[in-house]
Structure 1
Amino acid sequence: MKIKNVIPRWKGFNLTNMFLFHLAKDFDEEDFKWISEWGFNFVRIPLCYRLWIEDDNVYKIKEEILEKIDKVVAWGQKYNIHVSLNFHRAPGYCVNNEFTEKFNLWRDESALDAFCFHWGIFAKRYKRVSSKYLSFNLVNEPLHPSPEVMTREDHNRVIRRTVEYIRNIDSERLIIIDGISYGNSPLPELSDLNVVQSCRGYLPMGLTHYKANWVGGENWPEPKWPGAWHYGEIWDREKLGRHYDEWAKLIGMGVGVHCGEAGAYKFTPHKVVIAWLRDLLEILKERDIGFALWNFKGPFGILDSDRSDVEYEDWYGHKLDREMLKLLQEY
């Protein structure tokens, strides 16, 4: 059976409690309760492998951290939410630069061995959990191919070997792979793997990452929509739609596609965010692509985003962006 016929159009959020390599906060069951009650069916959990290793030894595992993830998987089943576990920091690679890896996932066999080992832990641990409720999103946002760090061939080799490794343990596990170029470019050469491919909803960057210091957005022009800046180009809905037409071609090949992250940073004017987000959601729905907002709580999200131009609603001690929530619920 082709993947596109077995995945629903997932809609939900990224829960970022385990995002930073030095932080392993407990997750909140109430998040799953609210997400379910609001009509969503998906959460993506960005994980960092360094949280569950000891003494910088990639093969020495701290069970107490994995037990936090066990709770997330169980809550997904309790609230009828699909949980996607993602290695945001994998052995040898992370899109963020807050920590320097000692090896390169794309080039070093020792890193790939460790990568497979860690996914093997989860494959064994959750073998009895149906793919209706759980998927493995192998590695967050592989970079743009370059001769220095990672070629397309390097990436394909890593993904193929890891998929084979997982399926030798659990042949039924649903697997998701992010596109290359930070999740923005599809991978038709991997269409035979029977995996879902994941795109991003961060274009144009001048709108979604305005004043974001980790990408140099402090000096970008204040965004508008349509007409937002993206590295010398001006984007509108038509251009945005053409971008996702490339991902829709995968669906025509029988490959499932999901937008694993989407959203705009807190400094983009709220009215601009809402106008752009509506166009994005319509474009994704037209192409039968689900979405997950980055994030649920935080500067891109619907709770506690700390925007200065939103009239928040109090929600059990949190600040709720009701207008954005209603928009997401429409799609």
Structure 2
Amino acid sequence: MRRRNFIKNAGLLAGGLTLLDQAVLPSSPRKTNPLPKWRGFNVLDFFSPNPAPSPHPTTEEHIRWMRDWGFDFVRIPMAYPHYLQFDRSRDITPDEVFQMDEQKVEEVDRLVMLINKYGMHANLNLHRAPGYCINAGFHEPYNLWKDQAALDAFCFHWNFWARRFRNISKDKLSFDLLNEPAMRMDMNDQHSPGTAVPGDIYRKVAGAATEAIRKETPERLIIADGNWGGSNVVPELIDLNIAQSCRGYNPHAISHYKAPWANKDPDHNPEPKWPGQVGNQYLSRDMLETYYKPWIKLAGQGVGVHCGECGCWNKTPHDVFLAWFTDVLDILSSNGIGFALWNFIGDFGILDSGRSDVAYEDWHGHKLDRQLLELLQKH
């Protein structure tokens, strides 16, 4: 499927430090990333606002393969309308945002339990939250960054999931508040002009959701995606004691080559190279080192950092993708930062990615990209 484009913790899994703690003196030793270097995948069972069954539903066999291949992390991006009951022949109303569908909620339960059964960590993410998604495809009735009603609904959903999973250990389950926050002129047009969310507004939203979660499970590990689509460290969140999640998509000229949801004119994207001149910029490992430097510094301050999404759409030549992705994973891994590939099965995945330039290996009826798998295992 195409990639459409928090929690006080007394132990090792603390998401961050207090403002006093982060005042590290020049002579202080560099801290290590307090999050485990989780490695794994995103699975898209609940990614669509449409509750129709996923074209690639996650099975027990899939989770076992992940575990057997050496991975220990599964991120579950969810669109909140997927697990609601309302009249889908028209746009959702604010009142309907609170109407949970117990059958769909139980499906989320089962997937979390399945992941935990195989000793893997599950990460629950609102990819689409009331009033915000980085992608179009569903009409939001309000704006999370501007409307109190949207924030109230956002907190309701996280309080619901915190209560639902209150008996699951923080070692087995974490919450990722909101996928790739950004401030858009039109919340229902993904190509409308946008900017990073003002830090005080992001703090207000993340802080409110964190409080809603902590009311039910004070020890739950909470993660906040970086600002401006996951790219930027969010200093305003550090004293909330929550981890932060970066992305492995930089530059988009490589990761989202010809992707129609990420480019206004995908047919005229310049041919990707790594390293090399692409359009008006020279792409190289140096630019990645610069891009990840703030994230490495954040982890060095003792704030948990993980890369919640990374990978490359299937139109980028495979050799270019692997050369670039080797540098991305090497930088992350050498700094103790784990990752989750978008996705497991599908256009970005290690199975059935639909690339035209890969010698796939048959794997129980699936087409396995063995080169990509071995690259992931290496890091």
TM-score w.r.t. the length of structure 1 is: 0.95
Query: Where in structure 2 are there 5+ consecutive unaligned residues?
Result: 1-10, 16-31, 87-91, 186-192
1 CA distance for matches of 2:33 and 2:281? 36
1:225 aligned residue = 274
Q: Does 1:76 align with 2:104?
A: no
2 CA distance for matches of 1:95 and 1:5? 28
Q: Does 1:95 align with 2:134?
A: yes
1:248 aligned residue = 296
Map 1:24-173 onto structure 2 (within 5 A): 24-25=52-53, 26-55=57-86, 56=92, 57-143=96-182, 150-173=197-220
1:145 deviation in Å?
A: 7.8
1:19 deviation in Å?
A: 1.1
- Give the counterpart of 1:174 among 221, 243, 252: 221
2:365 aligned residue = 317
- Give the counterpart of 1:15 among 40, 43, 53: 43
After superposition, give the CA deviation of every residue in 1:249-292 in whole Å (9 maximum; x if it has no partner): 11122101000000011010001111111111111012211111
SS of the aligned residue for 1:215 comes to coil
1:94 deviation in Å?
A: 0.4
Is the contact made by 2:345 and 2:351 (CA closer than 8 Å) also made in structure 1?
yes
1:24 deviation in Å?
A: 4.5
Q: Does 1:291 align with 2:291?
A: no
2:248 aligned residue = 201
Query: Where in structure 1 are there 5+ consecutive unaligned residues?
Result: none
1:228 deviation in Å?
A: 5.6
- Structure with the bigger RCO (C-alpha within 8 Å, sep 6+) is 2
Name which of structure 1's ranges 16-25 and 72-81 shifts more when overlaid on structure 2. Answer: 16-25
Name which of structure 1's ranges 24-33 and 93-102 shifts more when overlaid on structure 2. Answer: 24-33
SS of the aligned residue for 2:99 comes to strand
Supply the RMSD in Å over aligned alpha carbons. 1.8
CA distance 1:228–1:29, shift in 2 (3 Å): farther
Is the contact made by 2:125 and 2:176 (CA closer than 8 Å) also made in structure 1?
yes
1:144 deviation in Å?
A: 5.1
After superposition, give the CA deviation of every residue in 1:190-217 in whole Å (9 maximum; x if it has no partner): 1111111000000111111111011223
Is the contact made by 2:221 and 2:242 (CA closer than 8 Å) also made in structure 1?
yes
Q: Which letter does structure 1 place at the counterpart of 2:68?
A: E
2 CA distance for matches of 1:297 and 1:119? 27
1 CA distance for matches of 2:277 and 2:142? 38
Q: Which letter does structure 1 place at the counterpart of 2:324?
A: W
SS of the aligned residue for 1:130 comes to coil
Question: Percent identity among equivalent residues?
Answer: 48
SS of the aligned residue for 2:270 comes to coil
Name which of structure 1's ranges 115-124 and 212-221 shifts more when overlaid on structure 2. Answer: 212-221
2 CA distance for matches of 1:327 and 1:148? 34
1:235 deviation in Å?
A: 2.0
1:6 deviation in Å?
A: 4.9
After superposition, give the CA deviation of every residue in 1:123-181 in whole Å (9 maximum; x if it has no partner): 00101101111001000000158898843321111001111111111101110100011
CA distance 1:35–1:170, shift in 2 (3 Å): same
1:7 deviation in Å?
A: 2.5
Corresponding residue pairs, total: 330
After superposition, give the CA deviation of every residue in 1:228-258 in whole Å (9 maximum; x if it has no partner): 637x432200110111111111112210100
Is the contact made by 1:11 and 1:40 (CA closer than 8 Å) also made in structure 2?
yes
- Give the counterpart of 1:187 among 234, 238, 241: 234
After superposition, give the CA deviation of every residue in 1:44-70 in whole Å (9 maximum; x if it has no partner): 011011012122411111000011111
1 CA distance for matches of 2:278 and 2:239? 36
Choose between structure 1 and 2: higher helix proportion.
1
Is the contact made by 1:210 and 1:218 (CA closer than 8 Å) also made in structure 2?
no
After superposition, give the CA deviation of every residue in 1:22-59 in whole Å (9 maximum; x if it has no partner): 14435312111110000000010110110121224111
TM-score w.r.t. the length of structure 2 is: 0.84
